[in-house]
Amino acid sequence: MRPVSVAFCSLFLLFSNILAVGQERQIINIENRNSLNLNGVWKYVVDPYQTGYYDYRRDARDQQANPSTAETLFLGYKAQNPSDRVEYDFDKSDNLLVPRDWNSQKEKLFYYEGSVWYYKKFDYPTPTAGSRQFIYFGAANYEADVYLNGKKLGKHIGGFTPFNFEVTGKLKTEGNFVIVKVDNTRGLEKVPTINTDWWNYGGLTRDVKIVEVAGTFVQDYYIQLAKNDKSKVEVSVTLNGLDAANQSLTIEIPEANIKVNCTTNGDGKASATVVAGNLTLWSPENPYLYDVKIAHNNEVLADKIGFRTIQVKGTEILLNGKPQFLRGICIHEENGVRGGRAYSREDAQMLLGWAKELGCNFVRLAHYPHNENMIRVADELGILVWSEVPVYWTIQWKNEETFKNAQTQLTDEITRDKNRASVIIWSVANETPVSPERTDFLRRMILTARQLDPVRLVSAALERKAKAGTANVQVVDDPLQEFVDIISFNQYIGWYEGLPEKCKTAAFEIKFDKPVMISEFGGDALAGNHGSKDARWTEEFQEDLFKESLKMLEKIPQLRGMTPWILADFRSPRRLLPDIQDGWNRKGLVSQTGDKKKAFYVLQNYYKVKRRAYENVVGR
């Protein structure tokens, strides 16, 4: 073992300091820790006026010394006698399943935006002596106020990232109850802002667990190859506990004959660099995952981690030093077949299975961090991932609180997924209008991503426009190109601009010597709606649009990947056309019933050709 570089130590300290901003730092790798699952049936109360949170003078009840038991829902109060005035009763209320969104479960909540109170009773066995407990939420859209046994634990903002609160010493062996006020109200100052093109699913949309750990435990770690170096593994571990300093740790990868012994510093952190030897590198063709063990005292935390390098060199994207063409597709976190927000391993296997059938080695998870199952299944299947935060369209660029919100979501995303080999690109935005304030906002986001993770690539889905004074020359006139690793942009020539015929004359000018990726293109088609290729909404129109778009994009010399929009039809309140859209964005290559449209096979055939071409290049 060799001491890690000063730069890497500084990076890890910065990473930990950023994580410390907020209420409680995230505990990673929840699925491999001891836990009590709180998923299943929860009671709920709809509260559009937030009566259970604010009194009639709009004062927050959880800030009051003696809040009224009659209306304060987080107290979970039960009437003690017939004269007792209590204006709610969770036991008599209706049920919701967790994890799930409320919109797809209850017709009356289909369009609902506002507050819903969730309630769950549970018992907890006597904890192991000296252990600690945390309540963990995979996500709650959009704001969550969490209470245990009538006492507030904290608040979380952001609909797609995990959070946890310590509950050590607050649990009873019988009769615990957790209450969560979830509010999915959109707001101009929020991230995403008020205007999007996807469904605003509300609720406890991912797992809820009570996690039990040792008094001093491994909270966070980073185990990956050094930047552009297949011969070295960089290791960092953070302990959480009163005696976290000067603790011995062992990080072991038995199959690779790697064993690292290290000691934490005064901040409970340990870092090291170890010679890797001849590792089997993770790739889409061979998604090899090593069993990794982190031991502290008598506790062993296990994970499965793949090792690969990713870099940009000129106009090439190199995975393990080999040129790649990113054969991708965009995906929303939605299971249209079942209806509602996707959350389970089965959902991930279905969506990523369709992507594999399409011939993809890459997916863009739009437009927010997807659930951890998606990332772990991508690791297992060998699918590269673009992971994004919901800085979407027109954010309040001058609002520093909005920036901190976005930065926190990016930090949480990177914290959770930094050990996943599949993730190769952090995206900081989608289709944002150029202005000095916006560029500064996104430049700071890019700087945050690079500080937290110097290994992976950074990009954003930019916009293109026609060059003034030309017939059909397309340019990306965006200063953000200077700061990203890959020039990625969305284009809808043939759908929002002209007809597919316009693709024949389009040309693209790219100013930077960087790889180019088309992050979106496509058009709508209602599955089963057949007719002329000149008739919008038909499968034939979409099929022809894909054929012409692919021929047009092939003319870009730096083209190194694409993620057409989108794998499957998804719900959007913006899509209003009766008998065609009916509240669905129909740009999917797969319908909400799982039927593949004709354009699916156009892209599938294109990807077969691309795969063979790159295999031949790499083979030489």
Those residues whose C-beta lies under 8 Å from the C-beta of residue 145, and which sit 6 or more positions away, are 53, 62, 74, 152, 154, 155, 180, 181
Contact between 287 and 306 (Cβ < 8 Å): yes
Q: Is residue 2 very low, low, confident or very high in pLDDT (cuts 50, 70, 90)?
A: very low
CATH architecture of 40-206: Sandwich (2.60)
Looking at residue 434, the DSSP 8-state letter turns out to be P
End-to-end Cα distance, the chain: 36
Tokens standing for residue 485: 């690793």
Looking at residue 99, the DSSP 8-state letter turns out to be S
Distances (CA, A) of 316 to 27, 247, 276, 322: 36, 43, 26, 9
Range 103-140 burial, b when 16+ CB lie within 10 A, else e: bbbbeebeebeebbbbbbebebeeeeeeebbbbbbbbb
Q: 156 or 471: whose pLDDT is higher?
A: 156
Range 11-28 burial, b when 16+ CB lie within 10 A, else e: bbbebbebbeebebbbbb
pLDDT digits (tens, 9 = 90+) for 564-603: 999 999 999 999 999 999 999 999 999 999 999 999 999 9
CA-to-CA distance for 139 and 202, rounded, in angstroms? 10
Say yes or no to pLDDT of 110 above 90. Answer: yes
Residue owning tokens 């870092």: 271
Cβ–Cβ contacts within 10 Å for residue 391, how many?
30
Those residues whose C-beta lies under 8 Å from the C-beta of residue 503, and which sit 6 or more positions away, are 493, 494, 545, 548, 549, 551, 552
Helix (H) or strand (E) holding 19: helix 6-20
Please provide the size of the chain in residues: 620
CA-to-CA distance for 523 and 597, rounded, in angstroms? 12
Contact between 437 and 398 (Cβ < 8 Å): yes
pLDDT digits (tens, 9 = 90+) for 182-229: 999 999 999 999 999 999 999 999 999 999 999 999 999 999 999 999
CATH number 1.10.540.10 is the correct assignment for the domain at 6-22+215-307: no
Query: According to the model, what pLDDT value does residue 590 have?
Result: 98
Chain centre to alpha carbon of residue 60: 31
Domain ranges of the chain: 6-22+215-307, 40-206, 325-619
Q: Is residue 277 very low, low, confident or very high in pLDDT (cuts 50, 70, 90)?
A: confident
Whether the domain at 40-206 and the domain at 325-619 fall into the same CATH topology = no
Say yes or no to pLDDT of 124 above 90. Answer: yes
Query: According to the model, what pLDDT value does residue 4 have?
Result: 41
CA-to-CA distance for 428 and 130, rounded, in angstroms? 41
Closest by Cα among 488, 405, 485, 489 to 441: 405
Looking at residue 595, the DSSP 8-state letter turns out to be P
Query: According to the model, what pLDDT value does residue 615 have?
Result: 85
The average pLDDT across 382-391 equals 98
Q: What is the mean pLDDT of the chain?
A: 94
pLDDT digits (tens, 9 = 90+) for 4-31: 443 444 444 444 444 433 458 999 999 9
Residue owning tokens 């010493």: 169
pLDDT digits (tens, 9 = 90+) for 50-67: 999 999 999 999 999 999
pLDDT digits (tens, 9 = 90+) for 523-571: 999 999 999 999 999 999 999 999 999 999 999 999 999 999 999 999 9
The average pLDDT across 473-490 equals 97
Q: Which of 14-18, 173-177, 360-364 has the lowest mean pLDDT?
A: 14-18
Contact between 493 and 499 (Cβ < 8 Å): no
Say yes or no to pLDDT of 33 above 90. Answer: yes
Contact between 420 and 379 (Cβ < 8 Å): yes
Say yes or no to pLDDT of 181 above 80. Answer: yes
CA-to-CA distance for 173 and 117, rounded, in angstroms? 24
The average pLDDT across 442-451 equals 98
The amino acid occupying position 380 is: E
Say yes or no to pLDDT of 519 above 80. Answer: yes
Closest by Cα among 367, 461, 368, 348 to 412: 368
Query: According to the model, what pLDDT value does residue 619 have?
Result: 54
CA-to-CA distance for 391 and 330, rounded, in angstroms? 16
Query: According to the model, what pLDDT value does residue 18 have?
Result: 44
Tokens standing for residue 569: 């039809």
Query: According to the model, what pLDDT value does residue 618 have?
Result: 58
Percent of the chain with pLDDT over 90: 94
CATH of domain 325-619: 3.20.20.80
| pTM, to two decimals | 0.94
Please state whether the peptide bond connecting residue 77 to the residue before it is cis, i.e. omega within 30 degrees of 0: no
CA-to-CA distance for 232 and 226, rounded, in angstroms? 6
